[in-house]
Amino acid sequence: MPADPHVLDELRRLRARVPQLTGALATGVDGRVLAQDTPGVDGDAVAALIESAHGAAVKLADATGQGEFRELLVRGLHGFVATYAAGDGAVLTLLAQDRVNTGRLLLEGRRAAARIGELGELGELGDVRKPARHARPAAKAAAARTRTPRATRTSTTDARTTTES
């Protein structure tokens, strides 16, 4: 399948903004490659791994009560793999050198994933909707978190220490 030109443009702009990126890949949640800018990397093989990792991350976030999956960051000896939800049916994965500023990587990845997700919502990506889920029992409600009231602070501006010599 030919790469989606809108997504490919976004990947190239992203790589220009973050020079330490060594690759960028957009896939459907089903592992289908939408667009890739990954020199020297087999996009189809990585897409299959992304599908598995995404599925595991979705289940982990759900099982731990963290809500809907947003992103996954893996650090290896030579760099990072950052995977982001891009709307309901797409996933953005970035490959970066170890010296990348991780804050910048996360910020730029989130922005690009949001733009790719918008393209999917506009129908620009073809059919990348989430696969139909089988009916499952209602999940346990997350335990309600209670907040403890904060103690009032006492003013220390009047408490002066003097030394007499």
- Give tens-digit pLDDT for 133-145: 333 334 444 445 5
Q: Copy the structure tokens of residue 135.
A: 């009916």
Instruction: Classify burial at 145, counting beta carbons within 10 Å of its beta carbon; exposed 0-12, middle 13-18, buried 19 or more.
Output: exposed
What type of residue is 5? P
**How far apart, in whole angstroms, are the C-alpha atoms of residue 123 and residue 125?**
6
On whether the pTM is more than 0.85, the answer is: no
Q: Residue 121: what pLDDT? A: 80
- Give tens-digit pLDDT for 94-140: 999 999 999 999 999 999 999 999 988 866 555 444 443 333 334 44
Q: Residue 56: what pLDDT? A: 95
Q: Residue 4: what pLDDT? A: 83
- Give tens-digit pLDDT for 57-89: 999 999 999 999 999 999 999 999 999 999 989
Instruction: Classify burial at 50, counting beta carbons within 10 Å of its beta carbon; exposed 0-12, middle 13-18, buried 19 or more.
Output: buried
- Give tens-digit pLDDT for 16-46: 999 999 999 999 999 999 999 999 999 899 9
Has residue 146 got a pLDDT over 90?
no
